[in-house]
Amino acid sequence: MKRPNDIGGNVAGPVDPGPHEPELWQRQLSALVAALGPQAKNVFRIDEFRRAREDLEPNYYKSLTYFELWAQGLKELLVEKDVLGRGEIEDRMRQIVDKRKSGITSPE
């Protein structure tokens, strides 16, 4: 079965080769993945992190950007490994969205 990440040979369209400065949340996500991964806390292995992303529903997978895939994969792994509950993550996400809507942009 072809997985959503298996795009070898498909027409992908133009690629912007210019520099891409990661946004703050992307840098924070990268740091979190590094802190929880095998070189630090060893909560998950790199192959588990990849599998968690590739197991996402194909249309959903294709709708996400690179770092959004990372965020979803990390969320799925943290739930799978009972580090956090899905409800805990969703509650925190709602809090962040509510703060942004109210104009508060700094972390707690």
Percent of the chain residues past pLDDT 90, beyond the cut: 67
The whole-model pTM stands at: 0.79
56 DSSP assignment: S
Task: Compute CA distances 27 → 5, 7, 30, 58, 87, whole Å.
Answer: 23, 26, 5, 26, 24
Q: Average model confidence (pLDDT) for the chain?
A: 88
The total number of structural domains that make up the chain: 1
Range of the domain at 50: 24-101
Residue 35 in any domain: the answer is yes
Q: What's the pLDDT tens digit per position in 25-60?
A: 999 999 999 999 999 999 999 999 999 999 999 999
Residue 85 in any domain: the answer is yes
